């Protein structure tokens, strides 16, 4: 009887020792990441707070599931220099003329805030380095694409509790209809446009991409750093060199109806429309 009691006591002691290391009893769970990797930024807490993955598993395929590589993890440090550089690049490339990021921008293409839980950082980087049809090719380096991904993920984190994004619009290929459009007749040989009303238009790359031209998110490339609007566009088309002395573009003569059709293609249904 006594020996049985001793066994019970020993079992209870062993159980208490095991439970002492459990989070439920104030203990710390072991991070198996540190079995293979050297710790850094330890003051920021657990490895998974920056790199995700599963730090509780010692099995590599489970531990590395959803892992965020170091070059893509700077977004967790909002004021990091990499994030600031990514935000600068987003402004330089005017990404928001087509995309929403950090809750701001035009709804012409994929909402970048939605990518956080839909695409891996590697997939986002690949889409920047090898853009799809209709997206400008900025010829970014691998380093620049990683920096941009950090800015995109930081922006997505800043609006996690925002209202649900509105549905996207699918445009079906209609070459006959587009060929009759004034943009296709008089602009498409040099320019491209992602239109909210008509979808992707044009095949030219000699001139700038005109997506979002009449919104606040397009670069201020009219004279004296001014934004574009329909009146300034009309002035430009009549005589580009009157606006910019060394402009390469020739005047484009449009009827009143043609110009109206062009503006309709450029318009975007957002509250911050420049008029």
Domain ranges within the chain, ordered by starting residue = 74-157, 175-266
Return the minimum-mean-pLDDT range out of 9-18, 47-56, 98-107, 215-224. 9-18
The pLDDT of residue 61 is 73
Highest mean pLDDT among 25-34, 113-122, 224-233, 261-270: 224-233
What is the rounded CA–CA span in Å between residue 74 and residue 122? 14
**pTM summary value:** 0.77
b/e 97-110 (16+ beta carbons within 10 angstroms → b):
bbbbbbeebbbbbb
Under a CB-based contact definition with an 8 Å cutoff, are residues 178 and 192 in contact? no
Q: Mean per-residue pLDDT for 39-49? A: 69
pLDDT surpasses 80 at 221? yes
Helix (H, G, I), strand (E, B) or coil at 268: coil
pLDDT of 220: 94
Domain 175-266 is of which CATH architecture? Sandwich (2.60)
Give the residue with greater pLDDT, 203 vs 50: 203
Whether the pLDDT of residue 199 is over 50: the answer is yes
When pLDDT is averaged across residues 225-254 and rounded to a whole number, the result is 95
68-98 pLDDT tens trace: 777 888 888 878 899 999 999 999 999 999 9
Residue, of 84 and 271, whose pLDDT is higher: 84
Mean pLDDT calculated for residue range 201-230: 93
Partners of residue 200 on adjacent β-strands: 194
Q: Which DSSP state fits 275?
A: -
The Cα-based distances of 264 to 127, 197, 274 in angstroms read 29, 8, 13
**Under 8 Å between Cβ of 75 and 154:** yes
pLDDT band for position 274 (cuts 50, 70, 90) = very low
Name the pairing type of β-strands 193-195 and 199-201.
Answer: antiparallel
Residue 72: partners with Cβ closer than 8 Å, 6 or more residues away: 121, 122, 125, 146, 149, 150, 153
Q: What is the pLDDT of residues 151-184, one digit of tens each?
A: 999 999 888 765 556 666 665 566 655 567 899 9
pLDDT, residue 275, reads 40
Sign of CA dihedral 261, 207, 180, 215: negative
Question: What is the C-alpha radius of gyration for the chain, rounded to an integer number of angstroms?
Answer: 27
Rounded to 5 degrees, φ, ψ at 104 are -130, 140
Q: Which one is predicted more confidently, 63 or 189?
A: 189
Spell out the residues 6+ positions from residue 113 whose beta carbon is closer than 8 angstroms to its own.
100, 101, 102, 103, 155, 156, 159, 162, 165
Lowest mean pLDDT among 11-25, 62-76, 153-167, 253-267: 11-25
Q: Residue 150: enclosing H or E segment and its boundaries?
A: helix 142-157
CB 124 within 8 A of CB 115: yes
Which pLDDT value is given to residue 100? 93
Q: Look at residue 59 and give its three-state secondary structure.
A: coil
Q: Using the predicted structure, report yes or no on whether residue 256 has a pLDDT greater than 60.
A: yes
Tokens representing 72 are 């893509």
| CATH 3.40.50.620 matches 74-157 | no
């Amino acid at each position: 009887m006594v020996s049985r009691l001793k066994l019970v006591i020993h079992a209870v002691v062993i159980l208490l020792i095991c439970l002492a290391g459990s989070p439920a009893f104030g203990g710390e769970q072991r991070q198996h990441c540190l079995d293979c990797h050297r710790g850094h930024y330890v003051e920021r807490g657990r490895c998974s707070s920056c790199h995700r993955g599963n730090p509780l598993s010692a099995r590599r395929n489970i531990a590395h599931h959803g892992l965020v590589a170091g070059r893509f993890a700077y977004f967790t440090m909002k004021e990091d220099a990499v994030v600031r550089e990514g935000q600068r690049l987003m402004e330089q490339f005017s990404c928001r003329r087509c995309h929403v990021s950090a809750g701001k921008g035009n709804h012409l293409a994929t909402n970048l805030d939605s990518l956080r839980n839909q695409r891996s950082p590697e997939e986002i980087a690949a889409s920047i380095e090898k853009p799809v049809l209709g997206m400008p090719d900025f010829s970014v380096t691998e380093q620049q694409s990683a920096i941009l991904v950090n800015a995109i993920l930081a922006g997505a984190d800043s609006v996690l509790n925002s209202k649900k994004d509105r549905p996207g619009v699918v445009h079906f290929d209609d070459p006959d209809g587009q060929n009759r459009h004034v943009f296709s007749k008089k602009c498409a040989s040099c320019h491209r446009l992602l239109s909210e009303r008509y979808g992707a238009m044009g095949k030219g790359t000699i001139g700038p991409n005109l997506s979002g031209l009449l919104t606040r998110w397009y670069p201020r490339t009219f004279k004296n750093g001014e934004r574009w609007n329909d009146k300034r566009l009309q002035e430009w088309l009549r005589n580009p060199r009157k606006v910019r002395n060394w402009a390469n573009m020739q005047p484009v003569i449009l009827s009143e109806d043609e110009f109206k059709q062009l503006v309709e293609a450029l318009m975007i249904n957002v509250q911050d429309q420049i008029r």
